Amino acid sequence: MTGTGAAAPRTGWPAISGVVRRLPEYLTIWVPLLLSAAHLVSFSLWTIWISFTPSTLVPVSGWVGLRNYTAVLASRNWKIAFDNLLLFGSAFVLLSLVTGLILAILLDQRIRGENVLRSIFLYPLAVSFVVTGTVWSWLLNPGLGIQKLVHDLGWTSFRFDWLVDRDMAIWTIVIAAIWQSSGFAMALFLAGLRSVDADIIKAAQIDGAGPIRTYWHVILPTLWPITITVVVVQLQFAISAFDLVRALTNGGPGIATQLPALVVYDLMFQRSQLGRGAAAAVLMLLILLAVLLPYAAWRYVQRRRATHA
Amino acid sequence: MRDRTFAPSRILIYLLVSLFAAAYLAPLAVVVLNSLRTNQEIAQASMIGWPKQWAWSNYLAAWSGFCVAETCAGIRPYMLNSALVTIPATIFSTMLGAIAGYAVSLWRFRGDNWIYGIVTLGLFLPQQMRLLPWTIVLRDTGLINTLTGLVLIHTIQGLSFTTLFCRNYYIAIPHELIRAARIDGAGFFRIFWRIILPLSAPILIVTVIWQFTHIWNEFLYGVTFTTGQQQPVTAALIALSAAIADIPQHGVQSAAVIIAALPTLLIYLLGGRYFVRGLTAGAVK
């Protein structure tokens, strides 16, 4: 009896001392990861919860169902922001794809100074959206920038006043966004072009295909997985665009360049409508999921195909 | 298409590529030139032009002279704020991310895939979903309107990126290396210190550059959680343009923009290769 009594702690003790000995290791592994994971999950749930409460100035408990959502969706602010997002998102993504692809093809022609040129096309990515927005707000300001310059040069009927034009102002954001991030598309496309099998290209040339036909029929089709990645990353940026608009137009003239992220900020911190602000944030998340979930599904299928092959 | 024989098409390529390069460089050139023109000169002409006299004093005014709200200390205090947030947050998030990346890729433990999966969701979750919770947490811990609060946010949120970068890099290290070291009795920290860290220079450079650039350039949290003298430089730039909209000082403002953009531009110039690697690594999640 005493034997088993002594044996029990003997088997238990090393396990406990092992845990104690390895405690620093467990803490180092788990604390940062748990903090990160816990804040992601709990903060998301928290915001979702607030979006169903009647919170205004401070978060309060209570349940108003979808009232915040219907209020946001019915507001003129959100409608304009959503329409702008559709226009800005598609124009920006499409044009930065085209620009990035053209730049990548040009750089792929074994030209001199390729490294310098690549650095020039990529440096805007190192600059903050606040700086980009501020600089472009000067260039596009009709009284200060390009229009003023052309007027001073003598062509006084020249007009380039999109920044103060309600219908065209959203395009100034497209311009600045393309300037800032088309280099990203270029970098990915260039890597894609460089990894095209040289034998395929050679075969196409032997078959008598000219450079344009080779690009169009042989090289570009291999780039479509990269294209999808670029589209998803750029859309992700477009959906949450905030700094750039804040610095360039601040949503104006009026609310002509309003975007969802600005509506969220406005509701939360300027109008003290926390419930509605949270609802608008959740709507942003839903828009993002509408892009990311199909992408994730596509990636999953691709991976399965790759492992089966 | 990949030969040098057809001259006219090569000329066209060089012409196009030069035009694009000029378009990408133009905004930078305009701001640099403006930062050296006097405010009066810009007011008389446009923002685009060559300096008649070199107004180097713009930089002095931008650095320590002009006024935002009631304080006239230039951009210097805000640059210091940005540095005091960016440098610690970059170091913490990189170190913790390296250890976490090593743990989930090579050390392996129960639940590692699950927790790694959740952590990487942070790459996609919009900041707007975390704004209110962070506001409440910072207020309740007394960290609202402090630089410490921003360091905390950027460290925890940065972990999603740094863990992903390091994990994807470490996964290529042969497991036999770790297994052999474990049989020899080496523990978690010793393996990290002796084997993993010496192999990590490239990925640590990528991660540091990525984190530094992102945190320095961040605006939304800076403007939401800090006010006045506590703001990082991105938020101060916006406050500055609002403050002097009625009395334009575009020369000084341009100098302030250049100063604010300089740290990340310098890092890009020095570590461009690693910067691009971070971009593509971040994209191919």
Residues of chain B neighbouring A123 (CB-CB closer than 8 A):
24, 28, 265, 268
Q: Is the CB of residue B132 less than 8 Å from the CB of residue A277? A: yes
Same domain? B50 vs B110: no
Distance CA B146, CA B228 (A): 11
Contacts by residues B66-69 (CB-CB < 8 Å, ≥ 24 positions apart): B66/B240, B66/B244, B66/B249, B66/B252, B66/B256, B67/B243, B68/B236, B68/B239, B68/B240, B68/B243, B69/B228, B69/B239, B69/B243
Question: What whole-number percentage of chain B has pLDDT above 70?
Answer: 94
Task: Identify which of B281, B283, B156 has the alpha carbon closest to the alpha carbon of residue A34.
Answer: B156
Average pLDDT over residues B60-73: 79
Interchain proximity B217–A127, CB inside 8 Å: yes
| Residue B184 sits in the same domain as residue B48 | no
Report the pLDDT value the prediction gives residue A143, as an integer from 0 to 100.
Answer: 86
Structure tokens at A131: 């700086």
Q: Give the other-Cβ count within 10 Å of B148's Cβ.
A: 14
pLDDT of residue B29: 96
Q: Which residues of A touch B157 (CB under 8 A)?
A: 36, 39
Q: Where are the alpha helices (DSSP H) in A22-168?
A: 23-50, 67-74, 76-107, 114-122, 129-139, 146-152
Question: Range with the lowest mean pLDDT among A197-206, B172-181, B228-237?
Answer: A197-206
A285 contacts in chain B (CB < 8 Å): 125-126, 128-129
Mean pLDDT, chain A, whole residue set: 90
Among candidates A139, A121, A128, A127, which has minimal Cα distance to A175? A139
Residue numbers of the domain that contains B46:
7-56
What local confidence, expressed as pLDDT, does residue B273 receive?
86
Q: Are residues B133 and B273 in the same domain?
A: yes
In a domain, B62, yes or no: no
> What backbone phi and psi angles, to 5 degrees, belong to B71?
-100, 135
Residue A6 pLDDT: 41
| pLDDT, position B69 | 63
Report yes or no on B70 lying in a domain.
no
Rounded Cα distance, B58 and B254, in Å: 8
CA distance A137 to A116: 27
Domain with A181, as residue range(s), is: 75-272
Q: Which residues of A touch B8 (CB under 8 A)?
A: none
Q: Do A265 and B224 touch (CB under 8 A)?
A: yes
Which of A41-50, A257-266, A272-281, B50-59 comes out lowest in average pLDDT? B50-59
Helix (H) or strand (E) holding B1: none
pLDDT band at B39 (very low <50, low <70, confident <90, very high): confident
Same structural domain for residues B51 and B102? no
Is residue B225 domain-resident? Answer: yes
pLDDT of B31 above 70: yes
Sign of CA dihedral A248, A252, A256, A260: positive
* pLDDT at residue number B72: 77
* B49 and B164 both lie in a single domain: no
Q: What is the tens place of the pLDDT at every residue in A215-225? A: 888 888 889 99
Inter-chain contact A134–B257, Cβ cutoff 8 Å? Answer: yes
Contacts of A22 (CB under 8 A, 6+ apart): B187, B188
Residue B159 inside a domain? The answer is yes
Cα–Cα separations (whole angstroms), residue A133 to A60, A139, B156, B238? 37, 10, 28, 10
Interface contacts A/B by beta carbons within 8 Å: 250
Q: What is the pLDDT of residue B45?
A: 83
A239/B125 Cβ within 8 A: no
| Pair B118, B26 in one domain | no
Average pLDDT over residues B38-47: 84
Check CB contact under 8 Å for A284 and B159. Answer: no
A182 min Cα distance to partner chain B (Å): 10
The pLDDT of residue B6 is 57
Which pLDDT value is given to residue A1? Answer: 39
Mean pLDDT across the stretch A145-165?
90
Check residues A279 and B247 and name the one with the higher pLDDT.
A279
Could you tell me which chain A residue has the CA closest to the CA of B267? A126
Residue B66 resides in a domain: no
CA A46 – CA B167 distance, rounded (Å)? 29
Same domain, B121 and B14: no
B137 and B87 assigned to the same domain? yes
Measured CA to CA in angstroms, residue A255 lies from A80, A92, A239, A247, A279 at distances of 8, 20, 17, 14, 20
Q: Convert the pLDDT of each residue in B197-211 to its tens digit.
A: 999 999 999 999 999
Mean pLDDT of the A45-73 span? 94
Do the Cβ atoms of A106 and B238 come within 8 Å?
A: no
Two tokens at A107? 């750089």
Given a cut of 50, is residue A309 above it in pLDDT?
yes
Report how many domains make up chain A.
1
Cβ contact, residue pair A214, B1, below 8 Å:
yes
Inter-chain contact B272–A37, Cβ cutoff 8 Å? no
B2 assigned to some structural domain: no
Has residue A77 got a pLDDT over 50?
Answer: yes
Residue A12 has pLDDT above 60, yes or no: no
ipTM of the complex: 0.92
Q: CATH number of the domain that A227 lies in?
A: 1.10.3720.10
Interface test with A, best of B24, B218, B238 (most A CBs within 10 A): B24
CATH code of B163's domain? 1.10.3720.10
How many domains does the structure of chain B reveal?
Answer: 2
Q: Quick check: A106 and B1 in contact, CB under 8 A?
A: no
Report the residue from A37, A191, A229 with minimal CB separation from B118.
Answer: A37
- What's the CA gap between A165 and A161, in Å, rounded? 6
The tokens for B36 are: 């050296």
Q: Is the pLDDT of residue B246 over 70?
A: no
Query: How many H-runs (helices) and E-runs (strands) does chain A carry?
Result: 14, 0
- The predicted-structure confidence for B209-222, as pLDDT tens digits, reads as follows 999 999 999 999 99
| B-interface mutation test, from A40, A136, A282, most B Cβ less than 10 A away | A40
Which of A44, A122, A281 has the CB atom closest to B276's CB atom?
A122
